[in-house]
Structure 1
Amino acid sequence: MFRSNLAAVLLGGASAFCLPLAAEAAGPSGLVAHRAIYDLELKDATDRSGIAGMYGRMVYEFTGSDCTGFTTNFRFVTQIDTGDATRMSDQQTTTFEDIAKRTFKFETKSFTDDALDKDVRGAAADGAKGVKVNLTQPSAKEIDLAESRFPTEHMLDIIQNAKLGKTFFEAHVFDGSDDGDRALVATTVVGKAETPKLDDADADKAGAFSKTSFWPVTVAYFNEKSHGDATPVYRMSFKLYENGITRDLTMDYGDFVLTGKLAKLEMLDAKACK
């Protein structure tokens, strides 16, 4: 699941177990091409956040295959009420990840009220001692990071650990978020498989998967140099299906918390690897 750097945008301006639908829809990884739309609402906010209300929509589109690589298109749009004014935040991210070659490309544009705030672009790949990042925007820069997982790899790690019954693991993850110049330490907690309850808010939106089991997952992201009882930069909880689809999101940015309920799920065509 892709992290959003929404917190930096807002606070700076304020002061998916089931089988795939069809066998050919997934490759060896088991991940399926899909488009998921989530309705976002503010669950909680501190006085320090300066946020009186917030709502929006997130669109997460995942396509590709194990042999050609995976493309993610992600858009995160929210309207924020500060009490004195309202503004629109719009983050648009595209990534491409080749698991076999261990390469990752990313581009993120962030807007406030249609004005461009940030444009980050670059690529990452295995280096001699870890991950080498080549940024091209906002300025050309080469960065050497610790050995890290890319987003789709990390999702596959979560699914594999869930299948093995391993409830906790930690990894460095690089996804190009924020300024695209650092990896974060992700601590992941995976619960036992569950089936939807009668009051499960967005289970009915999961279509063919509405009554299928899932794993409850929480991932907390920390700065690499954090020690002891450090506060995570960002925490996300969700219900995860074996094919990579997620729903019932909770996104905790520290000063405010958003929920994301699955509003629509569409399975997309995917070509089988030859």
Structure 2
Amino acid sequence: MFRRRPIVAILALAPFVSALTGAAGAATTGLLVPHRAVYDLELKDASERSGIAGMYGRMVYEFNGSPCEGYTVSFRFVTQVDNGEGVRLSDQQTTTYEDLKGRNFRFLTRTFTDEALDKEVRGSAHDGPDGVKVDLSAPEKREVSLADGLFPTAHMMAVIDRAKKGERFFEQRIFDGSDAGDKTLLTTTTIGARTAPKGDDAEASKADELATAAYWPVTIAYFDDKSSGDSLPIYRMTFKLYENGVTRDLTMDYGDFVLSGRLTDLELFKQESCE
């Protein structure tokens, strides 16, 4: 089952935000730009065990906010899955709010199958001195105490910061409210050397003013927090990350199947300054 981390990575590809005069300036100064990105999805590979004969869809990711007001993400992931006997429509809709200063995080995810609501997860979390405290209101009311970890935007701030410093690998525990919203995940991040797009990179032209900007190839692997030894990741994401937080050329590896996501449309929003 799809989990929403792709753009959270991308998703939370939301680091430093400031007043922007344009994406080109953001690309060179390393500031995050609020934006709306659309990705076309298709099945890249699938094992017999996956039960997937075909799969395609679309992902829409919208990021807004500022350091003073906090950051919001609206994320929708729609796929049609052919299991060889029929086609199922899956629609996952997620909204989050993250306050970096107060270290607060709110999340809501609704998952629909063939337009019928399958699952709703709603809650809030706070990162305090004793770890992450989660207050869930759906699917049932309960409180959960977890080990210390970063929320998605703070995590991706760390990714970009380390990339700028030339660091190539680091590990971090995160909480993003995925699944039942009651656990953290361990991540390992690998960052490649900053790279300029090649002339035959057709997808780069979809990145608007970023078409000629350099990016970092990034891979983030997510592990169960209770994993030990040489356990396999729950899934792995690979993408090209710009200094301003925009991503493209996604590969989402869930073990039994792999999806690719190609950027097809990018709209850059004006960032309001904090006063």
Please, what TM-score do these two structures have when normalized by structure 1?
0.91
Aligned residue in 2 for 1:183: 184
Cross-structure match for 1:111: 112
C-alpha distance in 1, partners of 2:94/2:30?
23
Which one-letter code corresponds to 1:22 in the other structure?
T
Structure 1 partner of 2:86: 85
CA contact (8 A) 1:201 1:261 kept: no
The 10-residue stretch of structure 1 (221-230 or 51-60) with the greater mean CA deviation from structure 2:
221-230
Q: Which residue of 1 aligns with 2:10?
A: none
Deviation of 1:198 (Å):
2.3
- Does residue 22 of structure 1 match 2:21? yes
Work out whether residues 34 and 62 of structure 1, in 8 Å CA contact, stay in contact via their aligned partners in 2: yes
Is 1:143 aligned with 2:144?
Answer: yes
Check conservation: 1:238, 1:250, Cα contact below 8 A: yes
1:53 alignment counterpart: 54
Aligned identity (percent) is 58
Report how far residue 126 of structure 1 moved.
1.8
Q: Are 1:247 and 1:260, in contact at CA under 8 Å, matched by a contact in 2? A: yes
What is the distance in 2 between the residues matched to 1:266 and 1:114? 28
- Aligned-partner residue type, residue 122 of structure 1: G
Measured in 2, the distance between the counterparts of 1:23 and 1:47 equals 47
CA contact (8 A) 1:73 1:93 kept: yes
Alignment of 1:212-223 (within 5 A): 212-223=213-224
Secondary structure of 1:160's aligned partner:
helix
Deviations, residues 5-57 of structure 1 (Å, cap 9, x unaligned):
79xxxxxxxxx7xx99627997x982110000000000000101100000000
CA shift for structure 1 position 271: 1.3
Alignment-mate amino acid for residue 179 of structure 2: D
Q: 1:245 to 1:3 in 2, by over 3 A?
A: farther
Take 1:134 and 1:178, find their aligned partners in 2: how far apart are those partners? 15
Structure 1, 169-178 or 125-134: larger mean CA deviation: 125-134
Could you say if the C-alpha distance between residues 29 and 165 of structure 1 is closer, same or farther in structure 2, counting changes exceeding 3 Å?
closer
3-state SS of paired residue (2:188): strand
Q: Write the mapping of 1:1-274 to structure 2, written as runs, cut at 5 A.
A: 4=4, 22=21, 30-274=31-275
- Which residue identity does 1:70 align to in structure 2? Y
Distance 2:3 2:247 in 1: 13
Aligned to 1:10: none
Question: What SS does the aligned partner of 1:202 have?
Answer: helix
Specify whether residues 198 and 163 from structure 1 end up closer, same or farther in structure 2 by C-alpha distance, changes over 3 A only.
Answer: same
Q: Does the CA-based 8 Å contact 1:20-1:243 persist in structure 2?
A: no
Q: Which runs of 5+ in 2 are unaligned?
A: 7-12
* Distance (Å, rounded) in 2 between the aligned partners of 1:215 and 1:205: 17
Deviations 1:74-132 (A, max 9, x none): 00000001110001000000000000110000000000000111100000002341000
Q: Is the 8 A contact 2:3 2:179 kept in 1?
A: no
Q: CA RMSD in A?
A: 2.1
5+ residue gaps, structure 1, are 7-15
| Structure 1 consecutive aligned stretches of length 4 or more whose deviation exceeds 3 Å | 23-26
Structure-2 change in CA distance of 1:23 and 1:84 (3 Å): closer
Distance in 2 (alpha carbons) for counterparts of 1:204 and 1:5: 25
Is residue 41–residue 259 contact of structure 2 (8 Å, CA) maintained in 1? yes
CA–CA separation in structure 1 for the residues paired with 2:211 and 2:229: 40
Change in Cα spacing, 1:164 to 1:155, as seen in structure 2 (3 Å) is: same
Give the direction of change, closer, same or farther, for the CA distance of 1:3–1:21 in structure 2 (3 Å limit): farther
Task: Give the letter aligned to residue 45 of structure 1.
Answer: A
Cα deviations by residue, 1:137-189 (Å, 9 ceiling, x for unpaired): 00011111111100100111000000011100000011001110001001000
**1:200 to 1:54, Cα distance in 2 relative to 1, 3 A:** same
Alpha-carbon separation, structure 2, partners of 1:177 and 1:200? 33
Distance in 1, matches of 2:195 and 2:125, equals 36
Letter in 2 for 1:46: S
TM-score using structure 2 length? 0.90
